[in-house]
Structure 1
């Protein structure tokens, strides 16, 4: 072994220790934010689940997060997620798919994902049901993605981040509850960039909570409310979010996509 080779392993180990310390500190800060938001809302900390969004970050970060006690991670691009999940197989993690999902990617996504947060159309429900019946992992938990910027818009209107209009939620819910191997878990949203709720995450999340209450009257078990990210998790928790999806506040600025 050359002197150059001898120096590589300690450097790598040092880098790994530094990254672990960095992630541990960031996680602690996010946990403190969640705890404060829960206390301000009169909610128990246990009422809110942290999902760390690991997109564009390497599998080694996921492994460190698992060592630090994270149990829920999310991805939004199947090609990246599938390889990362395979690399992290055996870790005590639940994988959430939060990106827009094309039907030709459904079978691959269900190879690792326990939750799909972006169900927004009947065709996708049918594809998910078919793939879920064929897989070995049992039923798949589905969340309807609600696009609040589409509220009251003409049916089929384009724009925004994707998702179903609020008035489409109950119809999709009925389709999911009837679909074999699917479980309707609840609702997901992202604070809108346009429409009446643009720049008003507190109002957007309050509206999602209203829709969630109506949904739970029809499907009591659909009690997940996935809302809030690094910039607005406090507003989401105040409005009743049960799951917050946090990326940059834990992992730092994301590397550019290649």
Structure 2
């Protein structure tokens, strides 16, 4: 289990201040783009940071947290179950781990192959319709797109996106909610903007192709979330600017 480390009052105060600064930056970026601040949700990326840090940020009003490592995430969920948080799985998910995540995360951001999608569907079919977590009849997911066409990076190839989306919506217990991307590592700030714009265009094309609305674009991290908001992000995944550098 991920336990609680000792955090000083000064450390807690600095963490809270960084969180509120990020919230202010999100609001400013949204207004600058002519959008309502409420149209952008912050996913506070807490991976590798202790449960106590999550509790501090939750105490400041944050509800949605993102994790990338299954066992770490499940441990934090157990530790912090009393807080009623919403958890998103944002990392690369192996097909064999599908059994560990279904029904435990409000949104899985990184579905990028049909084997994983089918495993999620099969595991969902094994769950009871209701539990203490509420309705478990569907698992909300995003399709991760390899927006930079990088051979070493996860994500559905752009040319395969339409057919993959068609396959996903045939799985009755998965609910497609949008697209996610990570621009090339060296493209930060304004250099990431063309990739974010491209993902927005792809979402619009997929919506027309499928004849259904997709409410979410998950894009933008600490180094470029303002640019992502300008291009239509509805979910920004911010870790370092809130929690600080990851522990070694």
2:49 is aligned to 57
Q: 1:24 aligns with which of 7, 16, 28?
A: 16
- Unpaired runs of 5+ residues, structure 1, are 1-11, 151-157
- CA 1:55/1:108 → structure 2, altered by over 3 Å: closer, same or farther? same
2:141 is aligned to 142
**2:205 is equivalent to residue 206 of structure 1:** no
- CA 1:89/1:33 → structure 2, altered by over 3 Å: closer, same or farther? same
Equivalent runs, 1:53-132 vs 2, <5 Å? 53-132=45-124
- Unpaired runs of 5+ residues, structure 2, are 129-135
Equivalent runs, 1:118-197 vs 2, <5 Å? 118-136=110-128, 137-150=136-149, 159-193=151-185
Q: In the TM superposition, what is the alpha-carbon distance from 1:97 to its structure 2 partner?
A: 0.6
Q: In the TM superposition, what is the alpha-carbon distance from 1:184 to its structure 2 partner?
A: 0.2
What CA distance in whole angstroms lies between the structure 1 residues aligned with 2:233 and 2:114?
Answer: 25
CA contact (8 A) 1:160 1:193 kept: no
What CA distance in whole angstroms lies between the structure 1 residues aligned with 2:105 and 2:230?
Answer: 28
What CA distance in whole angstroms lies between the structure 2 residues aligned with 1:226 and 1:248?
Answer: 17
Q: In the TM superposition, what is the alpha-carbon distance from 1:172 to its structure 2 partner?
A: 1.7
Number of residues of Structure 1 aligned to a counterpart in Structure 2:
237
| 4+ residue runs over 6 A deviation | 196-199
Larger Rg: 1
What CA distance in whole angstroms lies between the structure 2 residues aligned with 1:219 and 1:70?
Answer: 34
CA contact (8 A) 1:201 1:232 kept: yes
What CA distance in whole angstroms lies between the structure 2 residues aligned with 1:13 and 1:185?
Answer: 36
RMSD, aligned α-carbons: 2.3
